[in-house]
Amino acid sequence: MTPPTTSARGSRPRSLYRSMLSLAVAAVVAASIPFAAIYAGTPRQLPATAAVASAGSAGSGQSRLVTTASGRLIPAGVASTGGAGGGTAAITTRTSANGSD
Amino acid sequence: MLTHQLFWITSRAFGTIAMALLGTSVAVGLAMAGKLPRKRGAAARLRRFHESAALVTVGLIAAHGGLLLFDSYLRPGVLGITVPFTLGYRPLATGVGVIAGWLTAIFAASFYVRRRIGARLWRRIHRFTPVAYALAVFHALAAGTDAANPWMVATLTGLTFPVVFALSYRLLGSQRDGRPAPAAGAGGLRSAMSVPQ
């Protein structure tokens, strides 16, 4: 075991400082991801060209997600409120952007 | 129901795996650049993993976009999945995803033109790899319908932590050293990737 050389002196605290600062930065950035996800989950404006149909309306096409009144996207099959043409205003159905569905 | 959404579900799965592999590959690359692996021979092994992971990521991204072509709901068209901001569905988020995909493909392909373009230029190009990762995270959060799911949030958080740690570690190291970049050429590249003894 050789003693540390002059050039190596002080490298451990610097390395520790480097690691700690890197960990702190990484923790802050990583911790911001859930907040970004929450922000991304906020209600969005549907594309203007997308047809908006009331839930359960006949021939509304390949509905995959529905936007609830609170703005959350949920699978279309889950929210079955409103019958044929029931027009439950709280739930809308997203269709394809070209509106052909 | 399942067959109807098969392409969309499969595309999401490929996108999620691509995201995970991209994050891992970027973190490993940054760790190598920051000389974090100290064990003898570890850098060479990690480099092999980094290179192959990047290539597989490009394949997964191609599958992620390509499968959407068959999705009767989205109907993106070839233009929509290859040219940024041309897709009608969340144009910004999907456009950023397309850019991230192209950047990842360029960075992965750069392994094979390294000798032709020189190590210095290769390193300059490669420094922007974290940008591709950041764009991919934005795409996953803003365009992905799984963004609000706890498992996706946990995955992205878990992937981002080592990437940012390795990036900070590398940046702090280069600031502290204040050394000029190693000379161009294979020797320079080796010294940049070498493990400190």
The three-state secondary structure class of A77 is coil
Which residues of B50-171 form beta strands (DSSP E)?
Answer: none
| Mean pLDDT score, B137-162 | 92
pLDDT band at B38 (very low <50, low <70, confident <90, very high): confident
Which chain B residues touch A37 with a CB distance below 8 Å?
A: 141, 147-148, 152-153, 156
pLDDT in tens, A4-13: 444 455 566 6
The three-state secondary structure class of A51 is coil
pLDDT in tens, A10-64: 566 677 888 899 999 999 999 999 888 888 765 544 444 444 444 444 444 445 5
Does B148 contact A18 at a Cβ distance shorter than 8 Å?
A: no
- Whether the predicted pLDDT of B167 surpasses 60: yes
* CA dist., res. B15 & res. B96, Å (int): 14
Does A25 contact B141 at a Cβ distance shorter than 8 Å?
A: no
DSSP state of B110: G
- Cβ of A44 under 8 Å from any chain B Cβ? yes
* CA dist., res. B44 & res. B161, Å (int): 23
* CA dist., res. A98 & res. B88, Å (int): 8
| Mean pLDDT score, B139-163 | 92
| Mean pLDDT score, B97-117 | 94
Which chain B residues touch A40 with a CB distance below 8 Å?
A: 141-142, 147-148
Residues 6+ apart with CB under 8 A from B145: A65, A73, B12
Q: What is the pLDDT of residue B118?
A: 93
- The residue extents of the domains of chain B are 6-193
Query: Can you give B38-53 as a three-state secondary structure string?
Result: CCCCHHHHHHHHHHHH
- Whether the predicted pLDDT of B141 surpasses 90: yes
pLDDT in tens, B8-23: 899 999 999 999 999 9
- The residue extents of the domains of chain A are 1-40, 46-101
Q: What angle do CA B134, B26, B188 make, to 5 degrees?
A: 120
* CA dist., res. A1 & res. A101, Å (int): 76
Q: What is the pLDDT of residue A40?
A: 78
Lowest mean pLDDT among A45-59, B48-62, B63-77: A45-59
Using alpha carbons, select from A95, A48, A86 the residue that is nearest to residue A67. A95
* CA dist., res. B55 & res. B61, Å (int): 10
Contact B43, B31 (CB under 8 A): no
Mean pLDDT of chain B: 86
Contact A18, B176 (CB under 8 A): yes
pLDDT band at B5 (very low <50, low <70, confident <90, very high): confident
- List the 76-95 stretch of A: residues with Cβ below 8 A of B: 77
